[in-house]
Structure 1
Amino acid sequence: MPLVSAISYVEVLGYHLLKDAERQHFVEFFEAATMLAISPLILEQAVKLR
């Protein structure tokens, strides 16, 4: 079972040029994956980097 961060979920599914077929593929992938929790400190750093 793959491990993915919640940030990866947002970045991939939030991509504005993602086609419907690609979106469906990634949705299925994320449904099969284990989502890794993100600490508040990491979230703050991610916001600063954006």
Structure 2
Amino acid sequence: MLTSLAKRFQTIRAHRKTVLELNRMDDRMLSDIGVMRGDIDRMVRVGR
């Protein structure tokens, strides 16, 4: 149980980091990789 909790915590931290990095990009950069700003959180949580 402790191991699964630690893995869940790592996953949450990785998702937060990814969202922050994508939010730092300008709209043109996001467009180049096929991401719309409003979809960042959903895409990180569930994938494309």
**What TM-score do the two structures reach when normalised by structure 2?**
0.31
Q: Which has the higher contact order (CA 8 A, sep 6+)?
A: 1
Higher strand share: 1
**What TM-score do the two structures reach when normalised by structure 1?**
0.31
Q: Which has the larger radius of gyration?
A: 2
Higher helix share: 2
